[in-house]
Chain A
């Protein structure tokens, strides 16, 4: 139930609610949303590294930390270069709130139950972010470099989704 709520909440805000008063997010908001998604997944991975003893889960979590940190470092360098200040917005706030709730939920689990819940949440999270990137964030990005970085992010998230699906299947 919580998982469905999380997915619904994130999907609602990330895909539809991302529009601002002018009807579409600006580059500063898009940068903030994408960066926030990366931060959330790194935090989830760190929780997994603290709780899981499963080597496959730990390898996956390390990959999440490594990849999302790399993208976010590039994003930070880009916004600095472009003199853009990432702008907090309701979508970012919603993502963070939903992630916090999910982290608390996962925090109550341990062992195999945690591993399965983490893998399933990674699938759901990456699906949601992929949808937001493809349908809203990338189409509305104006700066070509930001758009290019988002496209890399989408490709990365798709890879992670596939990897998470393989991980979840191996945990059955």
Chain B
């Protein structure tokens, strides 16, 4: 599955940045793999939930959301909005430490959290 990296302007404002080129990635929720520019952490959108709901990452890592559900979902904060159709995936890069709480703006009960460490 190819990942789209998007929302560069908005993500930059939140201390996130976006890899310009699409990147092939394994899509194992909760797993991460080493890449030349940090780890890739994959969060699945399945059965109206983020799985895992909370992940811990480090500055320089990337987070990819994969929509394995039958519904349109998003990973949304005030600073970025990744909207994904069923089967689609996209992600952001984490550039500064902090806690990022996000929701699906279509299904506000879906909540996720990224703890970004130095």
Contact = CB atoms under 8 A, between A and B. Distances in A.
Contact of B109 (A63, A152, A162): A162
Interface stretch (A3-11, A24-32, A65-73, A108-116): A65-73
5 contacts: A66-B71, A74-B70, A155-B48, A159-B108, A162-B109
A159 B110 contact: yes
The 4 closest A-B pairs by CB, nearest first: A159-B107, A70-B70, A155-B48, A159-B109
B106 A152 contact: no
A156 interface: yes
Contacts of A89: none
Interface of B: 47-48, 70-72, 86, 106-110
A104 B33 CA distance: 56
A155 B70 CA distance: 13
Contacts of B47: 152, 155
A22 to B, nearest CB: 32
Interface SS majority for chain B: loop
Given A63-B106, A163-B107, A166-B108, A156 B72 contact: no
A156 B109 contact: no
Interface SS majority for chain A: helix
Contacts of A156: 48, 71, 107
A74 B70 CA distance: 9
Contacts of B109: 158-159, 162
Nearest to A68: B71
A90 B47 CA distance: 30
A71 B110 CA distance: 18
A144 B86 CA distance: 23
A166 B104 CA distance: 14
Nearest to A155: B48
A67 B47 CA distance: 12
Contacts of B70: 70-71, 74
Contacts of B110: 159
Nearest to B72: A66
Contacts of A158: 109
A130 to B, nearest CB: 13
